[in-house]
Chains A and B, each alone.
Chain A
């Protein structure tokens, strides 16, 4: 599997529900980032969590990082239709400047 692999690949929920997406990676990292891509648009940086952090919050977003399991999760609480997008995790590799992205989770929030 690829570095920065998300699951599920697709998730469909009702407005108001919580959405949880997971990401696994293989190598050691300095940080892990989550991005969102709305259809036809660019990538928007959501949140960055460093390897020495376990949890981070930003508004309705909560990110956890478990370096022992090489995994991260993104929780979106009280989802809205506007949260419909693809979500990607990305990790730096060996301290280099390049980010390695997963294939993403396509989230659909139904009104």
Chain B
């Protein structure tokens, strides 16, 4: 089966611009998660979808971040406007049965805001 796919793999944008990251989970996985790792810090949870519903968005840093999962398939994470501190690697993961059985992560999108 195909794994979790993230696009783009790298993005360099200027401060104030908008960037949209995309994640295609493993087919049939209702659970989809976004995490990010800011340089030198821990990997941190952003939010969790079950199908198209946001189950937990407690990790979203502020209202410049908007995640959607229309139709319960792929998800997008938009950052608007981007700030320098948003630079880091954004990971998407999906799972069939939730965290108790582990996730499958994508390769991540490396976002650089200059």
Contacts and interface: CB of A to CB of B under 8 A. Distances in A.
A100 interface: yes
A75 interface: no
Given A45-B102, A48-B102, A103 B41 contact: yes
A33 to B, nearest CB: 6
Contacts of A88: 43
A2 B45 CA distance: 14
- Chain A binding surface, main DSSP class: strand
Interface in B75-103: 91, 93, 98-103
Interface residues of A, number: 24
Nearest to A99: B99
B101 A100 contact: no
B81 to A, nearest CB: 26
Interface of A: 2, 4, 30-31, 33, 35, 40-45, 48, 88, 90, 92, 96-103
